[in-house]
Chains A and B, each alone.
Chain A
Amino acid sequence: MTRSISVAYAVARKDLTSEWRTRELVPALGQFVVLALVIANFGFQIDSRNATVIAPGVLWLALVFAGLVAFGRAFAAEREQASLEAMLLTPAPPAAIFAGKAIAAALLLIVCEMVLLPAMTLFFGTPLNPALIVAVLLATVGMAAVGCLFAAIVARVRSREVLLPLLTLPLWIPFIVAGGQAVQVAMGASGNYNQAVALLIDFDILFLVLTSLAARFVLDD
């Protein structure tokens, strides 16, 4: 267990250090989410009356597309550098390598969320409160696990940019449904926040277990 944690830490640290030095992904994703909000602001004519209804949808659309790019890059970069094989030919547990990459990709998406959520408050006047942050973070965990698993699978094929959304989006729907409900309540709409968050936690546990079991088969050959 300690060995798996140290491997996951080393992999996540390596990915985050590489991103910090190259700044390939986060600035582009930050600009993307802000542009998505600007377009939504003009496209939907959002004001204080309809913000709590429309804003959660805009938030999840921006997050889904930013997530597809972030998780897709997690393994595509390794394949392009031919470094994934070198990593997998060590005795390190494949599930720990997968966990490290998923943690790094999730943290990069969280950095985007740190731009997205205040920008939503700025553009739409929606509240920025702990309940909203918790809901988004819980959804990010599960989305990262599923997204990275499929990113690892499609990284081997040429049409990965097309395949990744086709495989990932259907399995992200539970997070978007439960997360959407939690975010709507956190923004002031009526509904049961605790139930939605409990559902998000259930989905997180389910997909974390499933993806960690599947990761060794995906990465091992």
Chain B
Amino acid sequence: MSAIVAHELTQRYGSEVALDSVDLALDQGEHLAVLGDNGAGKTTLLRILATAARPTSGRLEIFGLDAVRERKALRARIGFVAHAPGLYPALSAVENLEFFCALHDVDRKRVPETLDLVGLTDVARRPAGRLSRGEQQRLAIGRAVLHGPRLLVLDEPDASLDSGGPDLLANVMRDRTVVLATHDHALANRLCQRTIVLRNGRSLGAGTRLRVVR
């Protein structure tokens, strides 16, 4: 069964076209890397896939549901790591995750295992504002997987992560459908089976990483 089917996704901001008729199909469990220069449309595509933005036109189905009309139902199945970590600096790492447990209506018992997964157990009681940028990114990744989403949308998650970052990402991506935007081709090759390249909002091609390299 397809996890994502996108047909002619277009996003306009006034006269500016941020995303231009992008088609996409991704099976469940597949990992897709989205590559492209700054301003290519990667973040716009990812925000639409995460239901954070509505496309101006085009059709998007995620797990068989219309991503615009049924996005409320989809949000429990999607985890999103945006550019900014979006944490509460005065709350500790534990409190940040416990708050999102309440919003997702999931058991707080998931918090310790999530902190362990992202390697933050030692700083669990430290306010998020006093964590390093890399630790904040780890916490944002932990928040995205807290509710056990089937689809993970990651916008440059490797930013600020240390050398253990790729292993962490490989762990959280396991058994999930993933769309990952990055500038790091080596990371994309390691973590994703398929790749799409964007330029000026248009897709230059999608396929296996071998095809894109060619």
Binding site for B on A (CB under 8 A): 3, 6-7, 9-10, 14, 17-18, 21-22, 81-87, 89-92, 97, 221
Assuming the A-B contacts A86-B143, A91-B76, are A10 and B90 also in contact, with contact meaning beta carbons closer than 8 angstroms in the complex?
no
Assuming the A-B contacts A3-B105, A7-B102, are A89 and B87 also in contact, with contact meaning beta carbons closer than 8 angstroms in the complex?
no
Interface string of B136-176 (1 = CB under 8 A from A): 00000001000100000000000000000000000000000
- Contact between B86 and A82, CB atoms less than 8 A apart: yes
Q: Roughly how many angstroms separate A84 CA and B90 CA in the complex, as a whole number?
A: 15
- Contact between B102 and A83, CB atoms less than 8 A apart: no
Assuming the A-B contacts A7-B102, A86-B143, are A21 and B90 also in contact, with contact meaning beta carbons closer than 8 angstroms in the complex?
yes
- Contact between A83 and B88, CB atoms less than 8 A apart: yes
Assuming the A-B contacts A10-B99, A87-B103, are A17 and B91 also in contact, with contact meaning beta carbons closer than 8 angstroms in the complex?
yes
- Contact between A83 and B87, CB atoms less than 8 A apart: yes
Interface string of B85-102 (1 = CB under 8 A from A): 111111100010001101
Contacts of B99 in A (CB 8 A): 10, 14
Q: What is the interface residue range for chain B against chain A?
A: 20 to 34
- Contact between A221 and B54, CB atoms less than 8 A apart: yes
Expressed in whole angstroms, the minimum distance between the Cβ of A89 and any Cβ of chain B is 6
Q: Roughly how many angstroms separate A82 CA and B140 CA in the complex, as a whole number?
A: 12
- Contact between B87 and A90, CB atoms less than 8 A apart: no
30 of the cross-chain contacts (CB-CB < 8 Å) are A6-B102, A7-B103, A9-B102, A10-B99, A10-B102, A14-B88, A18-B91, A21-B90, A21-B91, A22-B90, A81-B86, A81-B87, A82-B82, A82-B83, A82-B86, A85-B52, A85-B82, A85-B86, A86-B82, A89-B78, A90-B75, A90-B76, A90-B100, A90-B104, A91-B76, A91-B103, A91-B105, A92-B104, A92-B105, A221-B54
Q: Roughly how many angstroms separate A17 CA and B94 CA in the complex, as a whole number?
A: 14
Contacts of A87 in B (CB 8 A): 103
- Contact between B50 and A17, CB atoms less than 8 A apart: no
Binding site for A on B (CB under 8 A): 50-52, 54, 72-73, 75-76, 78, 80, 82-91, 95, 99-100, 102-105, 127, 143, 147
B54, B76, B82, B90: which contacts A18 (Cβ < 8 A)?
A: B90
Q: Roughly how many angstroms separate A221 CA and B72 CA in the complex, as a whole number?
A: 12
Contacts of B73 in A (CB 8 A): 91
- Contact between A82 and B95, CB atoms less than 8 A apart: no
- Contact between A86 and B86, CB atoms less than 8 A apart: yes
Contacts of A85 in B (CB 8 A): 52, 82, 86
Contacts of B83 in A (CB 8 A): 82
- Contact between A17 and B90, CB atoms less than 8 A apart: yes
Contacts of A221 in B (CB 8 A): 54
Q: Roughly how many angstroms separate A18 CA and B129 CA in the complex, as a whole number?
A: 11
Contacts of B91 in A (CB 8 A): 14, 17-18, 21
Contacts of A18 in B (CB 8 A): 88, 90-91
Contacts of B105 in A (CB 8 A): 3, 6, 91-92
- Contact between B86 and A91, CB atoms less than 8 A apart: no
Q: Roughly how many angstroms separate A82 CA and B86 CA in the complex, as a whole number?
A: 5
In chain B, what residue has the closest Cβ to A86? B86
Q: Roughly how many angstroms separate A63 CA and B89 CA in the complex, as a whole number?
A: 29
Q: Roughly how many angstroms separate A121 CA and B78 CA in the complex, as a whole number?
A: 55
Q: Roughly how many angstroms separate A14 CA and B97 CA in the complex, as a whole number?
A: 11
In chain A, what residue has the closest Cβ to B50? A89
B52, B88, B104: which contacts A81 (Cβ < 8 A)?
A: B88
